[in-house]
Chain A
Amino acid sequence: MSSPVLPRGSAKLGLTVNAWLIYLFFYAPILLLVVFSFSADKNVGRWGGFTFDWYREFGQNDGVQSALGVSIRVALVSTLVAVVLGTMAALSLERFTFRGKKVFDALLYLPIIIPDVTMAVMMLLFFAQFFDLLDAWFGLSLSKGFGSIVISHIAFSISFVSVVVRARLAGMDDTLEEASMDLYASRWQAFRYVTLPLIFPGVAGGALLALTLSLDDVVITQFVAGPGSTTLPVFVFSLIRRGVTPLINAVSVIMLAISIVLVALSLFADRSKRASAKVSN
């Protein structure tokens, strides 16, 4: 097939320049932030010679360190639960028909499209009401903290995991599972040795997405965090509102590095997904 008619002359030049400018727009702020995180100047946006001081401060600041610890624990626990639930949800929707399936499908989409602020309000009111009831009925006085953050993160991550796993399941036919069961594999064995290895790239992609979302979230976490348990983004957000400091530059660059590593890994998972899809075709 010959290539279709493409813009020529000034139109082509315009398109090319526009593309380069958009990449400049995307990357210049990020790169400048990295540069300034090594600047000795107290002013966050000025170059004053090379230094590692702000990264050293990052390592020594107790507030940052404890927030980082909470972030990592929240991300790991919520991802683990969301991956299990999301994968089961994806399997049920792609492999079975059952009553209420359409409602379930629609319900699973809602956490993806709902605005952050609305979700935050929902969780805040829910926990306020829930802790009041616990207090009134059982005399338990619990408060917001690690548990409420994890519960909220799972609530928005399940849907993303299930979308990614479903995409993987949709591109795969179920005859392999049937074949394994014809060869006397139990249901569990068929899942463990046939289905799971095949959907693994999807599950890994979903897990990386859930990790990224959990490590990124500010708004929802801010509403459900309690004293003594803030995540790194919420901590940084409150620092920014009090005034910018070079320490925030360094913390930001580290958060950026973490998310870029996660993106790179998920692109890699996506690639192996495509490669194995080719094989199974």
Chain B
Amino acid sequence: MTQVLSHPEEVTPEFEKDAARAQSRRGFLMALPTFVYLGLFFVLPFLIVIVYSFATRNRFGGTDLSGWNFEAYRKLGDSVVRDILFRSIWLALITTIICLVLAYPFAYFIATRRPAVRNLMLVFVMIPFWSNFLVRNYAWRVLLGNDGPVSQLSEVLGLGETRVLFTPVAVVLGLVYGFLPFMILPLYAAIERIDLRLMEASRDLYASGWQSFRRVLLPLSMPGVIAGSILVFVPSLGAYVTPEILGGAKTTLLGSYIVTQFLTARNWPVGASLSFVLMAVMLAATLVYFRKGGRTL
């Protein structure tokens, strides 16, 4: 209705084309400042990383940009880097699986509550989600520390001394603590969208509880499973703060290794090539996610 009112009685094709062109120009001008900003301070930096990854480190710890080569990428096959890569992938994988196992029943539980209860439960997931990440990791440092609450508890229970801090276990614990909401929220969004009467129908057709989970609920909630897994796996792979605070010398992960290459070892080409690999993994994961028809990011 408004469409009719807002146009003059006689609309010539020329007039319409002009109006469309003006509209398109207006949209472009509105996007332009952000476009320029991101071009200058996001795309350009990204291209510089790629250039550096093909450069050579000189004797003084500086970087020679002339004479491109694949040396930095070849270095990624070194046993030190390979061990760190495998360890990072392994810990990120364990973190993702633990998050999935904990979050799935939890998300299902929330999705089957009354709307009021459901919103309240989600609010209490959002609060730690948006609380300071550094502080949340630090809290575990306090809990797991010498004579801290955890070791006191294990003494009371007669379990003897527990040394978790500075081990891979502490790192996984910190990562799960940090990224669990990233798993809960997309899983909840996926399960909430499912018509749960389908579960009822499967039970009417003599499916066991396990069968109706395995054959009905799980396949339907797959977009949430994939989204959550990517959202936990990718940041775990690039984690830096958690292994620095909770891990020890033997738990160097990809993120910390990259930072070391820049801030202490001063081997920028290797650091740049590793960052590029990390970025490529992230992009591949995102593409998989959109291919699978996911929308909740």
Contacts and interface: CB of A to CB of B under 8 A. Distances in A.
Interface of A: 4-7, 11, 14-16, 18-19, 22-23, 25-27, 29-30, 32-33, 36, 43-46, 85-86, 88-89, 91-93, 95-101, 104, 107-118, 120-126, 129, 151-152, 154-155, 158, 162, 175, 178-179, 181-182, 212, 215-216, 218-219, 223, 233, 236-237, 240-241, 244, 248-249, 252-253, 255-256, 258-260, 262-263, 266-267
Interface range on chain B (Cβ under 8 Å from partner) = 35 or more
Given A4-B196, A92-B30, A101-B27, A110 B130 contact: no
B38 A216 contact: no
Given A88-B34, A96-B26, A104-B35, A18 B177 contact: no
A96 B23 contact: yes
A6 B105 CA distance: 13
Nearest to A110: B42
Contact of B28 (A14, A98, A152, A175): A98
B145 A259 contact: no
Interface string B138-179: 111111011111001000000000000000000000000100
26 contacts: A4-B112, A5-B199, A18-B105, A19-B106, A19-B110, A26-B125, A29-B177, A30-B128, A32-B143, A36-B142, A45-B142, A46-B147, A95-B27, A96-B24, A98-B24, A107-B43, A112-B297, A115-B234, A121-B275, A122-B49, A179-B2, A182-B5, A218-B241, A219-B259, A237-B245, A267-B123
Ranked 5 nearest A-B pairs via Cβ: A96-B27, A45-B148, A115-B238, A122-B45, A126-B45
Given A107-B43, A118-B275, A126-B44, A15 B132 contact: no
Contact of A113 (B42, B136, B275, B282): B282
B27 A15 contact: no
A256 B124 CA distance: 15
A223 B262 contact: yes
B139 A98 contact: no
Contacts, number: 265
A150 B48 CA distance: 20
A121 B2 contact: no
Contacts of B132: 215-216, 233, 252, 255-256, 258-259
B138 A240 contact: yes
Given A4-B199, A88-B30, 16 more contacts: A5-B203, A16-B109, A18-B106, A85-B34, A99-B28, A107-B38, A110-B42, A116-B255, A122-B48, A181-B6, A182-B6, A241-B244, A249-B142, A252-B138, A259-B132, A266-B130
Given A46-B147, A115-B279, A108 B131 contact: no
Contacts of A248: 138
Contacts of B297: 109, 112-113
A123 B45 contact: yes
B250 interface: no
A181 B123 CA distance: 40
B134 interface: yes
Given A115-B235, A115-B238, A244 B128 contact: no
Contacts of A122: 42, 45-46, 48-49, 275
Contacts of A260: 127, 131
Contact of A14 (B25, B105, B148, B278): B105
B240 A30 contact: no
Contact of A117 (B26, B259, B268): B259
Give the interface centre of B2, B131, B203, B272 by most chain A CB atoms within 10 Å: B131
Given A85-B34, A111-B42, A117-B255, A255 B279 contact: no
A252 B133 CA distance: 10
Contacts of A267: 123, 126
B31 A104 contact: yes
Give the interface centre of A85, A124, A129, A223 by most chain B CB atoms within 10 Å: A124
A263 B131 contact: yes
Contacts of A126: 41, 44-45, 48
A255 B126 CA distance: 17
B15 interface: no
Interface in B21-70: 23-28, 30-31, 33-35, 37-38, 41-46, 48-49, 52
Given A4-B199, A26-B128, A96-B24, A256 B148 contact: no
Contacts of B199: 4-5
Given A44-B145, A125-B48, A88 B31 contact: yes
Contacts of B2: 175, 178-179
Contacts of A118: 49, 238, 275-276, 278-279, 282
B197 interface: yes
B209 interface: yes
A206 B65 CA distance: 40
